[in-house]
Structures are given as C-alpha cells and as structure tokens.
Amino acid sequence: MSVNEVTESTGLPDRALKKAGAGRTTVVFVLLVAVLVVLAIVSACLGQVPTGPAEVVGSLLHRMGLDLGPLPAHPAGEVTLWEVRFPRVVLAMLVGAALGCAGALLQGIFANPLAEPGVIGVSSGAAVGASAVIVLGGVFTAGWALAGAALLSGLLTTVMVYALSRSNGRTEVVTVILTGVAVNAVAGGLIALFTFVASPAARDQIVFWQLGSLGGATWNIVAVVAPLTLAGVVVSALLAPKLDLLALGESVARHLGVDVERVRQLAILAVAVLVSGATAFTGIIMFVGLVVPHLMRLALGPAHRTLVWASVLAGAVVLLAADLGARTLVENADLPLGMITALIGGPVFFLMLRRTRARQGGWA
Amino acid sequence: MNLLPRLPVPRLPGRDDLPSRSAPGTVTMRGTGLRLRRGDREILHGVDFAVRTGEVVALVGPNGAGKSTVLAALSGDHPLSGGSVEIEGRPLDGWSSLALARRRAVLPQQHTVGFPFTARQVVQMGRAAWARTPRQDDDERLVAEAFATCDVTHLADRPFPALSGGERARVALARVLAQDTETLLLDEPTAALDLGHQEAVMQVVRRRADDGHAVVVVLHDLGLAAAYADRICVLEQGRIVADGSPTEVLTEDLLGRVYQYPVTVTAHPETGTPLVLPRRSPHSAPTTAG
C-alpha cells in the first residue's frame, strides 16, 4: 500500500473512460429510438386495411399541417390509421415504457435484479379489482368502470403491502417481498373465487383480461395512461441518483445521506401509478418489468441515471414488438399480449438466472 | 406496526447544513447511557462513550460483547431502548440523513453491492452528500486521494462484486475516506486484510486522526489497537469495563478475565507498546482460565 503523499499523478483516467461510456450510451439510445420509430411505422402499416409506410408517414405529416407524402389510398385507410392503429401503437409504447421504468425503479430500491412490479402486488391487486367488477357488474360492464377498479385496487394493494411490511418506521427488503408473497396469495384466492362464482361469459372476460391485450386502445385511454406514465417516469428520473446509493445497502445509503424511507415511499408510489395505469386498460403483461431493466443493465452498466431512461425506451420497444407479434403471428387473430411476453420473457429470465449463477454463484 | 405510512414531506436542507471543522480535542460524538435491545435480549446495558477530534478510539472485546452494536448505536442504525447519541451536541433525531452524512462516515463490516458497479463508482458514491455544495469541487481530488491511500487505484475499473474480500474492504474504506467527514466510525476495517494491509490501513486511520478527525474503530487485534489507538475501550457483555490508554487498559488480569483465556502482555521490542500474546505451552493444550 502506498502511504506516500498523494500527488497530482494519482488522478485516475476518469475522463477518457467517461467518454468511452458516454459513446456507448449514445449508441444504445440512438439505436433504441431508431428501432422504436421503425417498429411504430411497421406496426401502423400492418392489418386488414393495407397501408404502406409512405402512406403512414404522409398521413402523420398531413395532420401536422405539412402537405408532404401520399395519403392512404384505401378509402378506410385514414380512419383505420387514426382510430385503430395509432392509438394502439401509442398505448403500446406508453405501457411498455411504464412497465420498463417501474421495473428499473423497483429493482433499484430493492437493490435486487429479481424485483418485478408483480412482487409488490400491483398486478394481482389490479386483477382482483377487475374481476370483482366483471362479476358484480355483469358482462356488459363499461370498460371504464373495469379500468377504474383495476387502477384503484392495484394502488390499494401496493399501499397495503408497503404498510404491512413497515415496522419501527422502517421497511426491510425481505419483509416487503415476503409480504408481497402473502398478499399475492390472497389476491390469487380472490381471483379464483370471482372466477368460480362468475357466469361463463363473465368468466371468459376475467380470463381474457388477465391475459393482457391492447386490442381496446382508444385516444381516450391514451389520454389517461399518458399523464400517469409521464408522472411516474419523471419521479423515477428524479430518484435515479439515489437508487445508485441504495445498491450499497439500506444502511450505507442512509449513512451517505439518503432518506431511504422517503425514497422508498416515492418509488413504490411511482411504481404503483405506472403499473396500475398500464394494467388497468391492458390486463396483466408479464416479465417486461423484469427483463427490460436487466437487459439494459447488461448493455449500459448499473448506473440508474441512464438505466431508468434506457428502460423506458426499451420497454416501449419490447412491448411494441410483442404487440406487433400478437396482431400478426396468427392471421385474423389478436393473440393475448401477456401470453407472448410471458412465453418470450420466461426463457429469457431463465437464461439470465443461469448466467448470474455461473458468474456470481447465485444471489446470496 | 404502522398502518399509515408517513407521507413524503419535502425537507429543505437547514442553514447550518455545511459543517465547519472543530478545534482539536472537541467531542464530536457522544453516547450517553446507551441501551439497546435486539429481540427480547438487551445487548448494551448503559454505555457511555465519547470521541474527540484528533484521537483514535479502539473498541475491543470478545465476540458478542457489543462492539459492533455500540457502533450501530452511534451511527443510528438501530433504535435505542435507552440513552441518547449526540453529534455536535444535537441528538441524532435532530439531524437529517444528509446533514449527518456530512458529519460522520460509517464503514460497515459487510461490503455488498447489489449491482456490478465499478470500484470507482462505489468510491464516487462516497461524495454523494456533498453534491450541489461548494465542497463538490473537491470530489475528483478526494476520490483520487482515497484510491491512492487505500492502494486500490489499480482496481478502479473492476466491478465491485468481482473483487476479493480484502479488496472490497479497502475499496469500502476508500469510499468512507472520500466522504471526508470529521468523524469516522469503522467496524473492523482490518478484518479481511493481510498483515501488510492491516498495518497500512491503521496508519491511514492514525493519520486521519492526526489531521484532526475523530475516529472510532472496532478491532479484534489487540496488538493493532495498542499500536495505533490513543484510547482503548474494552467491552464485556454490553458494558465498558475499561477505558484508557493502551498501557493502562491492556493488563493480563483484565484481558484474562474478559476473554476468559490467559494472556501475557509484553512490550514490543522496538516501540515499547503493549503486545498481547495468548499463553501457550509447547506440549499440552492450553487451559482455560476460570
């Protein structure tokens, strides 16, 4: 160990390294945005009414007041684009961004790459609310009552998990996760109960709601989800620097000046808003919140200032891609979105698990 | 259990948030009548403790005597069942986390980092409490100094979870040094280190105190405590049973009783500081003192 006087020469090659890291970050972000734009245009082109990429762009430009590019040739083209496809594309991006962001935030405050919004009961809570409304209100319940119930019960469940896991003014990570397990179990029981007592048609609706779909996207829905997502993302971005410190553990973060409890409350609130908003209209979409932040961490490193934004973008990309698959993989069928994300996300998660085990010997 | 979580209230930093340096010999941190329970067992039964700028105080004692618990009480990690801890004369409750982080740094015994942050990022996190203050300008210099002082400059770009136990301990110490606080609370900074790094780390700790910082350090090695501490507090079953200079405290009677093992105390051949050796006979197994 050098116990000499420290001189100027001990300065670390900080700047050069920062530059290299910044270059990589820029590349990833540019790539994500490019893929997002391409996917959005492709997604808007595909469907029963044929439209070309030029027509999609042209239609967009015309609405913005620029007389450039061709308008859709098909008589129903303009309406299809603006009333069916565009809201769906925008909603997919919003929901994906919300789920990715929520995952990054939750993994950050728990300092654990296994955390997922489902862990703190948001998704199952929302499902309880949704199935209750379907059973009580009958099959023809308005979508808005259903979404409202899902949103509220998702928020309430999260608050309950948090409140139940507090003691002495503090919350231990393990307690939160185990409380989540307990609350999720009860929620699962309630969903089973509602499914049992429901009429066959209502039962179908409960099942399909839980499978997740963007099929019902409208501009009104976008108008509700957008501000919720935006608020959640802004809070996440503000909390990001503190999440880095939380990786050192709860008490070290406190010793470094973080008001851990306050950060946790804000973060859990943000996650609840993001995920409840997303699932309320689309049902349960698995694994996006888990896999997206993990992949971005592999690509960009663990610093949350970039990770949160990368997860927002990548979440949007992944969900847009998954929805594209849901719409086009089987002709004339709208596959359940949650099914696709789970079928792809599950194996990806398993590979991540193997990888981490091989490298670190597990999460001890 | 508290069913109604406290709503987040934005807290503005106080006007007195930026600390100034105290004169040598000022008490920075004081614990009075510290009592602490874990479960239904009381671990500390009324401990009085103070540390002054310019001194290194070593907390020693057998396993389970409460050394780390005293540190946890001082750092505010564990709620007290009695007594109080003051820093700069104000109870811990009266400070925000941020204001405390500008006054004392804590080195825990375990060093875990949830994600593969590099050693450099970890040490830079030590500067978090000074963000958006004039002392932010020192960030780069203090981080580089901390790396050099702890002999970890070559590890700067390695991910923290990939480091060995001893390397992690030194990077964690560098983080604590970069925090640049007047009081340092160190829980076994030498535990995972080889002989050379043990000495070097204690020299770093010594120099910090000589530069006017107040240092509390939990140690197992009585020889290190004797060589580098101004004052040694011996803990036995949750009480301080001796508090004084190494020569006053390190006696065969006291240590034999506290550690329940016979020891010989001699003088170091070169420095004359006390050396504590367990009694061993060359042929038979050691006997236990009563």
Express each pLDDT in A53-75 by its tens digit. Answer: 888 999 999 888 888 888 888 88
For B267, the enclosing helix (H) or strand (E) is strand B263-267
Where would I find the H helices in B34-115? 67-75, 97-101
Contact B38, B96 (CB under 8 A): no
Name the band, by pLDDT with cuts 50, 70 and 90, for residue A244: very high
Q: Give per-residue pLDDT as tens, A267-311.
A: 989 998 999 888 888 888 878 898 899 889 988 989 999 999 999
Where do the structural domains in chain A lie, given as residue ranges?
Answer: 28-358
Count of CB atoms situated within 10 Å of the CB of A247:
27
Residues of chain B with Cβ-Cβ distance to A265 below 8 Å are: 5-8
Name the band, by pLDDT with cuts 50, 70 and 90, for residue B173: very high
Mean pLDDT of chain A: 85
The reported pLDDT for the residue numbered A111 is 84
Mean pLDDT of A78-86: 90
Count of CB atoms situated within 10 Å of the CB of A78:
17
Q: Ranked by mean pLDDT, which of A156-165, B127-136, B176-185 comes out on top?
A: B176-185
Contact B51, B136 (CB under 8 A): no
CA angle A230, A234, A236 (to 5 degrees): 115
Q: Give per-residue pLDDT as tens, A151-190.
A: 899 989 988 888 888 776 666 778 888 888 899 999 999 9
Fold of the CATH domain A28-358: ABC transporter involved in vitamin B12 uptake, BtuC (1.10.3470)
Contact B229, B205 (CB under 8 A): no
Contact A209, A280 (CB under 8 A): no
Helix, strand, or coil (residue B50): strand
Question: How close does chain B come to A178, measured CA to CA in Å?
Answer: 16
Question: Is there a contact between A10 and B102 if contact means CB atoms under 8 Å apart?
Answer: no
Q: Ranked by mean pLDDT, which of A67-81, A269-283, B16-30, B114-128 comes out on top?
A: B114-128
Contact B218, B187 (CB under 8 A): yes
Report residue A139: phi and psi, to 5°.
-65, -30
Q: How far is CA B86 from the centre of its chain?
A: 16
Question: Is there a contact between B121 and A244 if contact means CB atoms under 8 Å apart?
Answer: yes
Q: Does A112 touch chain B (CB under 8 A)?
A: yes
The reported pLDDT for the residue numbered A357 is 67
DSSP-derived secondary structure letter, B163: S
Residues of chain A with Cβ-Cβ distance to B120 below 8 Å are: 12, 14
Report the length, in residues, of chain B.
290
Q: Does B183 touch chain A (CB under 8 A)?
A: no
Residues of chain A with Cβ-Cβ distance to B203 below 8 Å are: 3
Residue B265 has pLDDT above 70, yes or no: yes
Q: Does A302 touch chain B (CB under 8 A)?
A: yes
Residues of chain A with Cβ-Cβ distance to B7 below 8 Å are: 265
Question: Is there a contact between A14 and B106 if contact means CB atoms under 8 Å apart?
Answer: no
The reported pLDDT for the residue numbered B4 is 46
What is the 3-class SS of A4-26, one letter each residue? CCCCHHHCCCHHHHHHHHHHHHH
Which residues are registered as beta bridge partners of B216? Answer: B57, B185
CA separation for the pair A57, A71 (Å, rounded): 9
Question: How close does chain A come to B40, measured CA to CA in Å?
Answer: 15
Pick the residue of A252, A311, A360 with the most B CBs within 10 A to test the interface with B by mutation: A252
Mean pLDDT of chain B: 89
Residue B95 in tokens:
């400070």
Which residues are registered as beta bridge partners of B215? Answer: B56, B184
Question: Is there a contact between A166 and B147 if contact means CB atoms under 8 Å apart?
Answer: no
Which domains does chain B carry? 27-249 (3.40.50.300)
**Closest-CA residue to A86 (of A219, A224, A280):** A219
Q: Give per-residue pLDDT as tens, B188-237.
A: 999 989 999 999 999 999 999 999 999 999 999 999 999 999 999 999 99
Q: Does B39 touch chain A (CB under 8 A)?
A: no
Contact A197, A135 (CB under 8 A): yes
Residues of chain B with Cβ-Cβ distance to A244 below 8 Å are: 117, 121, 125
Q: Does B96 touch chain A (CB under 8 A)?
A: yes
Question: Is there a contact between A252 and B108 if contact means CB atoms under 8 Å apart?
Answer: yes
Name the band, by pLDDT with cuts 50, 70 and 90, for residue A10: very low
Report residue B117: phi and psi, to 5°.
-70, 145
CA separation for the pair B160, B114 (Å, rounded): 9
Q: What is the ipTM of this complex?
A: 0.88
CA separation for the pair B155, B163 (Å, rounded): 8
**Closest-CA residue to A300 (of B127, B155, B121, B154):** B121
